Amino acid sequence: MSSKKSSLKKNKSKKNVTTSAKKQSTKSTPKKTSVDPENQYLVVGNWKANPETLVEARNLFNEIKNNVRQVRLTDIVVCPPFVYLDNLNALYKGKKISLGAQTVYSEQSGSYTGEVGAEMVKSVGAKYTIIGHSERRKMGETDEDVKARINIALSSELVPIVCIGEKERDNDGEYLSVIRDQIQAIFYGTSRDWFRKVVIAYEPIWAIGKNSKGAVTMHALHETAIYIRKVLSEIFDKKTALAATILYGGSVDASNATELIDGTQVDGFLVGRASLEAGSFLGIVSAVEEYAKKQSS
Ligand code: PGA
């Protein structure tokens, strides 16, 4: 670890775990993430069922890869459909971009028509996998399935990016208990060592996709990130909660990335639509990179 990184690490304990964002300064405390990628900030592109052909997938990936040479402090992950993984993996020998799957099944192999195992995606280059995205939960995936899939991903040494988030944000704070219940159902009873290898993606369902209400506000995101760390600190401990890697996802684009990373206590983004357009995705990466530079100087 470089001296810069170790000095960042020392600052971690200053992050305050409290439900009141008002008690927080607007500057977040720099920190090293709990997972072990190179950097402390992470931008993940979730391509979902896009684009329609391998040629388009290669073009999009090429455009991204040709424009990330200057990125030093932000890890970039691209999660294409399974069928493109092998090809994109062969296309890229650099280290700036990692590949990820969009899910893995809860078994490695067997009679499960249509499913794909963690070892399979690992063998074609994936280092990460999204788990429990709301679009998969809508198809019936439960917190129990999510937990089983995290286990299998970890057994294949993939970094699971675990999605949580409420359907609606009500004024009475009911959404907070939805978030709490999800975190408890998935993480309660797991060890700190297990949890440290996991990335959490806070993705409020109402903020996702083209029919969404748009991204969460900076203030609401700050408050929710603190709340998530508070719930985690009750399950594990304060230190583990502070070190957790928390991404935000839902209508992130190049125009709101700066305000959504600055002081909100998240460590990066999980990006849907904007990851399908190289310019927008790169704009988000550079907003995060600029913030990371500011924090490390
Ligand atoms: P969006 O999707 O960025 O298109 O809102 C985010 C996601 O579903 O991960």
Residue nearest atom 1 of ligand 1, based on CA coordinates: 272
Q: How many helices (DSSP H) and strands (DSSP E) are in the chain? A: 12, 8
pTM of the model: 0.89
Which residues lie closer than 8 Å to 255 by C-beta, 6 or more apart? 283
Q: How much is the CA Rg of the chain, to the nearest whole Å?
A: 18
CA of 49 to the centre of ligand 1 (A): 12
CA of 106 to the centre of ligand 1 (A): 24
Confidence band of 297 (pLDDT split at 50, 70, 90): confident
Nearest CA to 248 among 237, 256, 240, 236?
256
252: Cβ below 6 Å to ligand 1?
yes
Residue nearest atom 3 of ligand 1, based on CA coordinates: 272
Instruction: Give residue-wise pLDDT tens across range 197-231.
Output: 999 999 999 999 999 989 999 999 999 999 999 99
Does 30 sit behind a cis peptide bond, omega within 30 degrees of 0 on the bond before it?
Answer: no
Does the annotation mark 133 as catalytic? Answer: yes
Q: In this structure, are residues 214 and 221 in contact, taking their beta carbons and an 8 Å threshold?
A: no
Which one of the listed residues 135, 166, 203, 289 is annotated catalytic?
203
Q: Residue type at 1? A: M
- Give me the pLDDT at residue 39, please: 65
Instruction: Give residue-wise pLDDT tens across range 14-55.
Output: 344 544 433 333 334 444 444 544 568 999 999 999 999 999
What number does the ligand 1 atom closest to the CA of 250 have?
A: 5
CA of 223 to the centre of ligand 1 (A): 20
77 forms beta bridges with 44, 98
* DSSP three-state, residue 168: coil
Dihedral sign for Cα atoms in the order 1, 10, 162, 289: negative
- Give me the pLDDT at residue 179, please: 98
Hey, which of 131, 206, 251 would you mutate to test ligand 1's pocket, going by the most ligand atoms within 8 Å of its Cβ? Answer: 251
271: Cβ below 6 Å to ligand 1?
yes
Which regions of the chain does DSSP assign to beta strands (E)? 41-46, 74-79, 97-101, 126-131, 159-164, 199-202, 245-249, 268-271
Task: State the average pLDDT over residues 109-136.
Answer: 98
| C-alpha distance from residue 123 to each of 82, 90, 115, 157, 267 (Å) | 12, 12, 15, 11, 28
User: Angle, nearest 10°, between helix axes 54-65 and 82-91?
Assistant: 50
Which residues lie closer than 8 Å to 222 by C-beta, 6 or more apart? 21, 24, 26, 263, 264, 265
